[in-house]
Amino acid sequence: MTEAFDAQALLATLTDLPGVYRMIDGDGQVLYVGKAKNLRKRVGSYFRERHPSPRIALMVAQVAHVETTVTRSEAEALLLENNLIKSLAPRYNILFRDDKSYPYIVLTHETFPQLAFFRGSTDRRADYFGPFPSSVAVRESIHLLQKMFRLRTCDNPVFNNRSRPCLLYQIRRCSGPCVGLIDAARYAEDVRLAGLFLQGRQRDVIDSLSELMDRAAARLAFEQAAVYRDQIQSLRQVQEKQYVESGRDGDVDVVAAVAADGLCCVNLAMVRGGRHLGDRPQFPANAGDSSPLEALTAFLYQHYLAHPMPPRILLNLALPDGEVAASLADMTGVRVRLSQPRFTVQRIWVEMAEQNARLAITARRVALARQEARLDELCRTLELDVEPGHEVRIECFDISHTQGESTVASCVVHQGGGMRRGEYRRFNITDIQPGDDCAAIRQAVQRRYEKLSAGEGLLPTLLLIDGGSGQVAAAAAALEELGLSQLPLLGVAKGEARKPGLETLVFADGRKPLQLPPEHPALHLIQEIRDEAHRFAVSGHRARRGKAGRSSRLDEISGIGPKRRKALIARFGGLQGISDAGVDQLTAVPGISRELAEKIYAALH
């Protein structure tokens, strides 16, 4: 606690109402954000002689002042606390950076519903099943559903314009509704059974299929009866392959927090419809000397305010009271039961989650040690001056274009033993001679670091440029204009035939080019970062080129303005769908006359 901060004076002004408090240091940086049922009591608990946690004692010693916000309820304080934690990322809050949305399986509401992978915001225009812990789990389930129920997976532009069945029909993974090989009633029954399966009601599915098989056999429709028989067999094989299966437990999340080797991991396993779908380990930032219980509590608040919550959550650690469950129920509107396992199946689930958390910690520890060794070798080889206690921050640039068209520059960031994807940036390069990679690099570096030269942002330890002496000279010129010529700069020139391991390192300070052995750890790290910059640049270039291609080809057709272009894309899904459409189908779009439809068809063929 600094001398300028008077804790007693602060406590005298605080209220007994619920709210959120922010601990702030002398530089105005938020150290910690917390919620309280009683602000005066909660904030006062920090300013005592002894603290059970050295981490909290260190934080309190830096506090210059405290800001508070009164809320109407503790649940409202919880929501505000989580919003502030996400936006401010305080140094002493346990942070779970899990911004990716979870994937679902979707069944659309159409005459012949589509079975598809889905990630994003759900609505009422379809039925959503999940969430699933990973895209792999979704795709495996879709593959099983295709095999058992033969539902279509193609998008509407393809489905609406087919004249003959596709390969999926030939390999018995689709029933061919696009060309009328199955009627709407039979297809609807397959959709109903698929929905029951995704809800975990496998017994009901088997009973329905058995009844349909008996009916088909009774009317001597033996081929159809054989189809139902195969579906039943496939379903029973799926049940047998489940690692853990229990139709009684419905939808359950299993959350296990484990600490080992100086790392804390919170592992989330998902059980949907009684089927164990896999898990996702997560490592919190700023955990320090926090206990697994503290990490578990932080995860529950941060995760379930952003993602769907099942009615039951199994935990490997006991929570001290019912406050967490009550707060989550108030915020989400879903009554949740937080408990430890009671039955054998539940204990197996929790033990699996704990085991996977320990394995994730071991794997992360090995990866971190490997990254640290590679970073040490890189700093030694390049003679980088790194202050003790500072993380090495590497930023790498690459350029992607097609014969000078739609040029995109990428900048990726490596820090703290891994890639910082949230800090990646792309730059659409303009006003240069097409194909001039040196000018593109110069513009990208200029735009990336113009704020840094004014004192905003983080200073990188090393700049990598995917290119040779020309690109390095261009980047060095941009840095010199910005007054940042002191930044270490290194070019990575591709070797003969662009073969990995033959790269030449080009220095901007006049040192002779260096070629490291293919097995050198520093070279492996450089290759990893360079390849990521290349991937990010290529994906950005493809998106820009595709957008330009879609716009230009339609814009070149006289009579196609923004409204008609939007209507065509909405109807057919994109340029490919428009190209596949016939004149009569184009005419069905509002605003498209037959004369214009013929003109569009001629322009795209």
Domain with CATH 3.30.420.340 in the chain: 252-362, 393-542
**What would the CATH number be for the domain defined by 7-88?**
3.40.1440.10
pLDDT of residue 239: 47
Q: Using one digit for the tens of pLDDT, what is the confidence trace for 24-45? A: 988 888 999 998 888 988 888 8
Own/partner pairs for 321-326, CB < 8 Å, 24+ apart? Answer: 324/297, 324/300
Q: Which residue has the higher pLDDT, 234 or 125?
A: 125
Q: What percentage of the chain has pLDDT greater than the value 70?
A: 90
- Taking alpha carbons only, the member of 315, 317, 274, 326 closest to residue 293 is 317
Distances (CA, A) of 90 to 33, 141, 340, 367: 7, 39, 31, 26
Residue 550 pLDDT > 60: no
Burial of residue 125 (CB within 10 Å: 0-12, 13-18, 19+) is exposed
Q: What is the pTM of this model?
A: 0.65
Of 2.40.30.260, 3.30.420.340, 3.30.1330.20, 3.40.50.720, which CATH number belongs to 393-542? 3.30.420.340
Query: Confidence band (pLDDT; 50, 70, 90) for 1?
Result: very low
Alpha carbons 153 and 169: distance in angstroms, whole number: 11
Position 27: which residue type?
D
CA-wise closest residue to 128 among 188, 187, 184, 195: 195
Domain at 252-362: CATH code: 3.30.420.340
CATH 3.40.1440.10 in the chain: give the residue spans: 7-88
Torsion sign over Cα 137, 142, 147, 148: positive
* pLDDT tens-digit readout, 163-211: 888 889 888 889 899 998 988 998 998 888 888 777 766 667 777 777 7
Over residues 232-283, the pLDDT tens digits come to 665 555 444 443 333 445 688 999 999 988 889 999 988 876 677 778 898 8
Domain spanning 556-603 has what CATH number? 1.10.150.20
**Distance from C-alpha of 266 to C-alpha of 353, rounded to nearest angstrom:** 9
For residue 257, the SS3 value is strand
Structure confidence at residue 552 as a pLDDT band (50, 70, 90): low
* Sheet strands side by side (includes 19-24): 30-36, 19-24, 65-70
What pLDDT is attached to residue 94? 86
Q: What percent of the chain has pLDDT over 90?
A: 21
